[in-house]
Amino acid sequence: MSNTTETRYLNIVTDNEYINSLYDVSSALVKTLNKFCGPYASNVILRVRVGTGKVITDGYENVEEFTKDGIDIVRKLQPSVGLATAFNNLAVHIGKHVENACHDGTTTAMMAFSCIVEQIFHPKKRKQYGLNLSDCRDRILLANAVTEVLNEIEEYIDHITFISESIQNSSECSPANIRNGIVYHQSLLSSKGDNDLATNMVNLISKFPLDYYQYMNFEIANIERPQKYILIDNPYTFYYKAAYVEKEVVFQDAKQDTIEFDHIDILPIAAPFNSNNPELNRIFNFVLKDPKVKTEAFKNLQTLTHYSQQEQAAVDYIAQLDMEDGSEPLMQGRPLMLLRFVPDTTDCCRLYAPIIKAWNTVYPDTPIFSVCLAMTNTWGFAREALFVCADKITQQMAIRNDLPWDSSIIRDAGLKIHEYNVYLKNFFPKDMDENDNTHPSYTDPNRNPNYTKFKNELLETLENLHTEALRDSSNSARDRELIDIFRWMTSKRYYALKIGGTLYDAAGNRSVARDVMGACMSVLKHGFVLSAYPKLAIWCDMKLRQNVTYDKYLRA
């Protein structure tokens, strides 16, 4: 026991009359909370529904009402003695501890608080302990007893392993069914019987790995909708801000500001465009091997005046370029976008434009154009994420290792350009299962070491930020972009739960949905649920028995 804890409990001063009243209040609170929690509070851990089920409301008129805040109830006791103050602090401490894993730890804190009071101050227990609280020595024993209970509760919060053991002991239930059943049942508990929310939560959570949950989106509808909850399901699109777009190539006329390609090849280029850039030279090599394009290119180059020495050297270099080697071709019947992460140099702009214009003149249906991205605070993360998501490497690495074009080109992706905004989609590996939403390298860390290394670095950066700050609408652009990058590289499709109802109800529905999400995160990641203490005792009893079977609980 730490010095602080020991000092706090050694200074306890109380009287038996208040102890008795504290026990009575504790017992009454348990009954009140159980009434508001309905039937779900009695069987959260042990009874799990697989799939969906009917809402149980018989005999529980208040099943859809919200549980009062447990810590607020504790504070309303208005203690006048040190013992009650100590237990109030204890309840708040437990609530904050649970809050780290779950959005609503206050009910847990209240129930744990009630459990401690019942165990230590029940008349029979006091007699069993032989405590005389007017004696200083017995107050030390009390301090030890309280500390022991607290430590046990925190140990169970940290180490309950319901999920893994349930899966191991249930041969007929798949892990996915167990997860869905737990999410559905926990959602019913946390929402006080909202079957619609529970069903939507199963459909939402089943699409993502555990690490993703804290970055879920809950949107409030900006107009009144009859549905309380609407599940959004769209292909995931990642957004870049462009510093430069070749409008004369991309758009058909000067007034146009939006164009979309469902099938386009994307070649990310990390190094700056200049006449000595091996990436650019490799592109020129391919483009100029076509006699028609080469003729057109030199005709365009002749319109340039006042060659610099560097530009003249570049033109001479182009004239003697070898034909493309036996590697697969750059173009495969689709437009090609050169996604540039570094701005051009002046001499390269003068050289690049006439050559690419020549290709686009000869082959207008499969143009080549470039977009230069704007530098942002997350520029490095965004660049690297694109490569690892698509299982690609940079052109520089491909050239260095004599690898074909497709080691660095993202084939058959989707692209939308609106003014200076660039949106990419369909960039995940093409061999993915159509029904799988999670990137295969996320599921299998050994599949692509570059992906795994980058993902761990990104998660480490995110973990250094405060969880609540990440969900705050006033986040910096950098924080929001990092979250977008993580979601982007993890999920092929974008799912979000949009909150509807009347405008008056939307904020309340959103609050309930976020509490439900927090509870589901907690039970899946830690095996711990909101109304803890009645189940903790049952759970510990089951842990002591070696021949326990879990099937009957999983198929309830």
* pLDDT > 70: percent of the chain: 48
pLDDT for 486 equals 87
9 has a pLDDT exceeding 60: no
482 has a pLDDT exceeding 70: yes
Q: Where in the chain is the domain with CATH 3.50.7?
A: 238-373+392-422
Task: Give the pLDDT mean for 103-109.
Answer: 51
CATH 3.30.420 for domain 238-373+392-422, yes or no, is no
> Which of 295-309, 394-408, 526-540 is least confident?
526-540
> Which of 11-25, 129-143, 247-261, 389-403 is least confident?
11-25
- Which range is most confident: 280-284, 377-381, 428-432, 531-535? 428-432
CA of 221: how far to CAs of 189, 225, 232, 266, 504, in Å? 25, 8, 12, 35, 11
Q: What pLDDT band is residue 179 in, cutting at 50, 70 and 90? A: confident
CA atoms 423, 429, 433, 434: torsion sign: positive
Q: Which residue has the higher pLDDT, 275 or 500?
A: 500
Mean pLDDT of the residues in the chain? 66
Contact between residue 455 and residue 446 where contact means Cβ atoms under 8 Å apart: no
Q: What pLDDT band is residue 529 in, cutting at 50, 70 and 90? A: very low
How far apart (Å, rounded) are the C-alpha atoms in residues 514 and 472? Answer: 13
pLDDT for 470 equals 41
pLDDT for 64 equals 32
pLDDT digits (tens, 9 = 90+) for 224-245: 777 888 888 888 888 777 777 7
How many beta carbons lie within 10 A of that of residue 477, not counting itself?
11
> Which of 113-122, 257-266, 348-357 is least confident?
113-122
> Which of 258-272, 345-359, 542-556 is least confident?
542-556
Q: Which helix (H) or strand (E) holds 265?
A: strand 258-269
292 has a pLDDT exceeding 60: yes
- Alpha-carbon 536 to chain mean position: 29
Please give the model's pTM, rounded to 2 decimal places.
0.61
Q: What φ, ψ does residue 516 adopt, rounded to 5°?
A: -65, -45
Q: At what angle do helices 3-10 and 136-159 cross, to 10 degrees?
A: 130
* pLDDT > 90: percent of the chain: 3
> Which of 186-200, 280-294, 421-435, 527-541 is least confident?
527-541
pLDDT digits (tens, 9 = 90+) for 375-396: 776 777 878 888 888 888 887 7
How far apart (Å, rounded) are the C-alpha atoms in residues 376 and 379? Answer: 5
Task: Give the pLDDT mean for 317-346.
Answer: 68
pLDDT for 135 equals 57
How many beta carbons lie within 10 A of that of residue 208, not counting itself?
18
Q: How many CA atoms lie within 13 A of 546 on its CB side?
A: 0
270 has a pLDDT exceeding 50: yes
Task: Give the pLDDT mean for 201-223.
Answer: 76
Q: What pLDDT band is residue 453 in, cutting at 50, 70 and 90? A: very high
Q: Which residue has the higher pLDDT, 466 or 544?
A: 466
Q: Residue 494 pairs with which residues in a beta bridge?
A: 234
Q: Which residue has the higher pLDDT, 554 or 171?
A: 171
